[in-house]
A = this chain, B = another copy of it.
Amino acid sequence: MSHPHPELSQPPGLAAHGLRVVALGGLGEIGRNMTVFEHKGRLLIVDCGVLFPEADQPGVDLILPDFGYLEGRLDRVEAVVLTHAHEDHIGAVPYLLREREDIPLVGSRLTLALVRSKLTEHHLVPETVEVREGNHGSFGPFELEFFSVNHSIPDALAVAIRTQAGVVLHTGDFKMDQLPLDGRLTDLAGFARLGGEGVDLLMSDSTNAEVPGIVRSERDIAPVLDDVFDNAEQRIIVACFASHVHRVQQVLDAAAAHRRKVAFVGRSMVRNMGVARDLGYLRVPGGLLIDLREAEEMPPGDVVLISTGSQGEPMSALSRMAVRDHQIRIASGDTVILASSLIPGNETAVYRVINGLTRLGARVVHKESALVHVSGHAPAGELLYVLNLVKPRNFMPVHGEWRHLRAHARLAALTGVPAKRIVIAEDGVVVDLVDGKASITGAVPCGYVYVDGLTVGEVTETQLKDRRILGEEGFISVIMVVDATSGKIAGGPEIHARGSGIDDGAFSEVLPRLEDALERAAADGIGDVHALRQLARRVVGKWVSDNYRRRPMIIPVVVEV
């Protein structure tokens, strides 16, 4: 198995009949999926999602794929294929369309509807091409064919990309529930047919490649919900992802069976379920839905709330209920169901919400205590079916951190893909499919692009490093006023500190030392601004380190008057 090395450099030009594959996100991470295919000078993009920041990316709202690779070539983009409407696949579309608004978006009915409603918030009206499973379409030199796949959002698609370089199958995100709620199976027959024709490169979802076995069916959750509803005394609150139409469907069905009314809580939940209902993906029995205000006034035992906030997001309704900062007041006898995954990194936040709700008297049911969630991604047992049916000549695991990509590569090797035909690539790594062989030929710059407030890409790694230091250690600023003519200290030094953990009074201990040092420096004729700053940093830094064993950011400022 080949994998990238830091020494990878700009790749050579692509062979005339070759296909170039470069992921700008989604490889080595779960999120911001975006893959650029290049053939005969034209580009096709599959997915354009966002990544959510981790704790060491403080203050960042979103992370985008690095569009730098497309600079000066956006006019060559034939289309963006969106495999499904999860944020990690569509979230960066508004930012891409800011660069070129008329790039056609290709996707299924529900996917496009959800993308459109998101773009409306950005005041963008996209060009769209609606497709469905079985459809074929040509976009420049790229011949596309779409296949149904089963995932945790309806209407997801896999896409085959035919070019003169060969056939690529990109699965998108999928699992293989054999009894899906909507009867729409992952199209194994289609994959098998394609495999029979010959697939030159399979790119397949690696998220659960480390997990053995298969996923339980979505419909196995129904009896569990039924049981929890049976035992619920007062209000029931179900938190899940705002795009999980089938999960919400099951909650609606359970509510109807238990003669409870339902209110949606949370902006994205209300918006998405409106879209899903309008298009017929969500079946809502007449009279079932009420609004939150009505729900508040009904007896708690007659109500179900379906809410966002399953990941412990601090501003979500559920988090606010857990700290009694929401119009819905949790009380003894209430039942809360977290019918969702627990995304790694969110554990502390989620357990805090669970503890808060429990403390207020609620019974909290979550995936660790009952089968109220099944994953949307195929684990090892299901991935093997795809590998065996498609029999790819080359394999490239996608959609995963290194541990997932490596585990998926191992599965491919077990099904007989030769090790040298398995390519593990990271973001920015260039994979060329030429003469039926996929190989790494180089790498292009591919960084994190941070969205923070209204700015995109202005927050840099240096700014984040500063934030990390400030967040851990606080800062101490030392202000000195210098007479520009005489070079003498005219005011200060003053010390101001925040978050340093040092009592303000304590600085009276170091100030005289600093004054002495400044006087000595003046006597020695050292008076330039840079030297004074260095001196202040050294004196105060040493004092803090000796007395507190800490390393706050020390910021010496010299103001000339």
Residues of B within 8 A of A364 (CB): 403
Most buried by B among A211, A401, A498, A561: A498
- In contact, A559 and B499 (Cβ under 8 angstroms): no
A355 touching B55, Cβ below 8 Å:
no
Considering the complex, give the chain B residue whose CB is closest to the CB of A424.
Answer: B359
The distance in angstroms between the C-alpha atoms of A553 and B481, with both chains bound, is 23
Instruction: Give chain B residues whose Cβ lies under 8 Å from the Cβ of A473.
Output: 59, 467
- A271 is an interface residue with CB less than 8 A from chain B: no
Q: What count of chain A residues pass the 8 Å CB interface test?
A: 67
Roughly how many angstroms separate A499 CA and B471 CA in the complex, as a whole number? 10
Find out whether the CB atom of B560 lies under 8 angstroms from the CB atom of A455.
no
A369 to B406 CA separation, bound complex (whole angstroms): 13
Chain B proximity mask over A451-471: 1 for CB below 8 Å, otherwise 0: 011110011000110111011
Question: Do A561 and B491 touch (CB < 8 A)?
Answer: yes
Write out the residue numbers on chain B whose beta carbons fall within 8 Å of the beta carbon of A560.
Answer: 491
CA distance A179 to B1 in the complex (A): 43
- Chain A 467-484 near chain B by CB (<8 Å), digits 1 or 0: 110111111010101000
Which residues on B sit within 8 Å (CB–CB) of A358? Answer: 402-403, 406
Report the separation of the CA atoms of residues A305 and B458 in the bound assembly, to the nearest whole angstrom: 44
A550 within 8 A of B: yes
Is there an interface contact between A59 and B471, defined as CB atoms closer than 8 Å?
yes
Which residues of B have CB within 8 Å of A547? 454
Interface string of A111-149 (1 = CB under 8 A from B): 000000000000000000000000000000000000000
Taking the complex as formed, is A230 at the interface, i.e. its CB lies under 8 A from any CB of chain B?
no
**Contact string against B for A residues 53-87, beta-carbon threshold 8 Å, 1 for contact and 0 otherwise:** 01100110000000000000000000000000000
Name the B residues within 8 Å of A452 (CB-CB): 501, 548, 550
* Residue on B nearest A549 in the bound complex, by CB: B453
For A482, the closest partner residue in chain B by CB is B491
Q: Which of B55, B355, B470 contacts A470 (CB 8 A)?
A: B470
- Given A354-B403, A403-B354, A403-B364, is A553 in contact with B498 using a C-beta cutoff of 8 Å? yes
Whether B481 contacts A498 by the Cβ 8 Å rule is no
A103 to B144, CA, bound (A): 77
Give the CA-CA distance A453 to B553 in the complex, in Å: 15
Smallest CB gap from A211: residue in B? B368
Q: Which residues of B contact A359 (CB under 8 A)?
A: 3, 28, 402
Q: Which of A190-198, A255-263, A345-353, A382-390 contacts B (4 or more CB under 8 A)?
A: A345-353
Decide yes or no: A479 and B559 within 8 Å by CB, A347-B344, A348-B55 being known contacts. yes
Partner of A59, one of B354, B369, B454, B501: B501
Set of chain B residues within 8 Å of A344, measured between Cβ atoms: 347-348, 351
A524 within 8 A of B: no
Q: How far is the CB of A94 from chain B (nearest CB, A)?
A: 16
Residue A539 at the B interface, CB < 8 A?
no
Interface status of A186 (Cβ within 8 A of chain B): no
A470 touches B475 (CB 8 A): yes
In the complex, A210 has a CB within 8 A of chain B = yes
Q: What 10 A-B pairs are tightest by C-beta distance, nearest first? A: A471-B471, A491-B561, A470-B470, A466-B499, A453-B549, A467-B499, A459-B501, A355-B402, A59-B472, A453-B550
